[in-house]
Amino acid sequence: MPNNLFSQHTELSDAILESFKTLDQKGFIMVEYIWIGGSGQDLRCKTRTMPYKEGGYKPSDLPKWNFDGSSTGQAPGDDSEVIIYPQAVYADPFRGGDNIMALCDCYKPDGTPIDNNTRLACAKACQEAEKEIPWFGIEQEYTLFEADGVTPFGWPKGGYPGPQGPYYCAIGKENAFGRHIMEAHYKACLFAGVKISGTNGEVMPGQWEYQVGPCVGITAGDDLWVSRYLLQRVCELFGVIVSLDPKPIPGDWNGAGCHTNYSTEPMRNPGGYAKIIEAIEKLGKKHEQHIKAYGEGNERRLTGRHETASISQFSYGVANRGASIRIGRQVEEEGCGYFEDRRPASNMDPYVVTGMIIQTTLLD
């Protein structure tokens, strides 16, 4: 379909969907069940009808459901049923009204978690460390691509834009590619109840970042996964593709990370700087274990160039974006606060990363 016809079709579809938001649902709501698929990075969803409930639904109010795990790479064909347990509820920005989304994790029929259920272990670590009140702020970078899946959004077909420099936090049609997508996603997150705290254009053209947090414990992983779901749905509406590849374009271009900011209550209190250094040094002793779990393809990004540290060497420093761990200048001056783990890739599993950080700094 030619681009102009595709655009007209999309605009018409959007107008029809918008008009349907005002229709009376006769005392029922739609619940979008969302879960992580077999690759550990893909998201899946399906919808069921529930009666309207005064005051809304909590996760425990919603029934468990099931899906065909043989079609998502999560179960064999001769025993394909996977059970999804609702764990967090969000407002649905696409359907509006009282319709909701339910983020779920996955279990076998006997109640044991399936192999790629990473949420359960993270929730356990968060519960064991809850007295420390761990906070996370996660910086999700992503890259937009044209519908061909090859051309970064806004780049000339088969060519390259000018070198990096004018694109970071930029304005103007010649510098900021995809702002309308970023704006739509930002509003979708706010409507849903995701704790999104900011956004900005990134160093590589066609690349953006948003921040989720500060969130306490398991909420960080839940909110980040739902924010990714919303981002993919928004891109679907605009006919573009979003990539979380940590080095989407080889060469002299920045990669994409998912920097993870972390603190505990003792770190945030006066005199907490010593606790920050103590936690960072614990992370340094387990650098290799963390790197292995911090995202697929991260070796293409952590080269020691383009604002990254070398993947093979652990380092930390104040205001140093070329270190594995960055301590903010203000944190040093005030003697308390948080630190930023700059190693996680853009495609990292936030349950794995936040759970490991808690395990290493507080529980081991």
In angstroms, the CA 81 to CA 63 distance is 16
DSSP 153-199: TTSPTTS--SPSSS-TT--STTT---HHHHHHHHHHHHHHT--EEEE
What is the CATH code for 27-116? 3.10.20.70
Which fold, 127-363?
Answer: Creatine Kinase; Chain A, domain 2 (3.30.590)
Q: Is the pTM of this model over 0.85?
A: yes
Would you tell me how many other CB atoms lie within 10 Å of the CB of residue 163?
10
Residues of the chain with CATH 3.30.590.10: 127-363
In angstroms, the CA 178 to CA 184 distance is 10
* pLDDT score of 137: 98
In angstroms, the CA 227 to CA 211 distance is 10
Non-local (6+) Cβ contacts of 22 within 8 A are none
pLDDT along the chain (364 residues), means of 10: 52 71 92 97 97 97 97 93 98 96 97 97 98 98 96 91 94 95 97 98 96 98 98 96 96 96 98 98 98 97 94 95 96 98 98 98 96
* pLDDT score of 20: 81
Q: HSE-up of 298 (CA within 13 Å, CB side)? A: 25
* Cis? peptide before 86, omega within 30° of 0: no
Element (H, E) at 352: helix 350-358
Contact 289, 298 (CB under 8 A): no
In angstroms, the CA 109 to CA 125 distance is 24
Over the range 11-28, which residues count as b (16 or more CB within 10 Å of their CB) and which as e?
Answer: eeeeeeeeeeeeeeeeee
Q: Token digits for 362? A: 């507080």
Over the range 74-92, which residues count as b (16 or more CB within 10 Å of their CB) and which as e?
Answer: bbeeeeeebbbbbbbbbbb
Residues of the chain with CATH 3.10.20.70: 27-116
Contact 283, 341 (CB under 8 A): yes
